[in-house]
């Protein structure tokens, strides 16, 4: 359905912010203007839940998580950046494969199956978007996905 992504994003971040205690710093780097997209809320919730849980899981205590919304042409860019352990260059594309996990031993301790990002990719592509990872080992990771923006509704002056 038609969703104001700004409000939807805020509510998801709020839910994580309540649970995080003092362990992380959240930074919302976007304005409160409305941004409309046609999405299945449950599916995109699943995408964001995984991306944000990953950011928390692979970051140290006191880490900062930055949330961004950027509009470019007819797409909305949704971006989550952490300053955690990062992903080695040769693994960047593979993290979207089913069951792929960087450093099996360390990842196993963290819990999870390695399916989260594979599902996220599938869900984003169903919506006509794309998803990718950028990272520097030891510095942090940015996950970006896009969603087609709905045309702003024309003002009706009649």
State the minimum distance, in angstroms, from the CB of residue 1 to ligand ATP.
26
Residue from 50, 59, 81, 135 binding Mg ion (CB under 5 A): 50
> Is 6 strand, coil or helix?
helix
State the minimum distance, in angstroms, from the CB of residue 100 to ligand ATP.
6
* 54 belongs to the binding site for Mg ion (CB under 5 A): yes
Using the CB atoms, write b or e for 64-81: b if 16+ within 10 Å.
ebbbbbeeeeebbebbbb
- Name the residue nearer to ligand ATP (CB basis): 3 or 124: 124
State the minimum distance, in angstroms, from the CB of residue 131 to ligand ATP.
11
* 55 belongs to the binding site for ligand ATP (CB under 6 A): yes
Q: How far apart are CA 111 and CA 56, in angstroms?
A: 13
Alpha carbon separation from 85 to 3, 147, 157 (Å, rounded):
33, 27, 53
> Rule CB under 5 A: which residues touch Mg ion?
50, 54, 116
């Amino acid at each position: 359905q038609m969703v104001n992504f700004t409000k939807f994003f805020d509510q998801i971040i709020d839910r994580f912010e309540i649970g995080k205690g003092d362990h992380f710093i959240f930074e919302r780097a976007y304005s409160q203007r409305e941004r409309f997209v046609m999405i299945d809320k449950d599916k995109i919730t699943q995408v964001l839940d995984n991306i944000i849980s990953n950011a928390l899981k692979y970051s140290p205590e006191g880490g900062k998580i930055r949330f961004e919304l950027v509009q470019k042409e007819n797409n909305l860019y949704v971006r989550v950046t952490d300053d955690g352990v990062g992903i080695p260059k040769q693994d960047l594309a593979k993290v979207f494969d089913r069951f792929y996990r960087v450093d099996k031993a360390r990842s196993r301790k963290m819990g999870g199956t390695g399916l989260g990002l594979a599902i996220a990719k599938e869900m984003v592509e169903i919506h006509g978007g794309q998803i990718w990872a950028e990272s520097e080992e030891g510095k942090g990771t940015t996950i970006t996905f896009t969603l087609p923006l709905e045309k702003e509704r024309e003002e009706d002056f009649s």
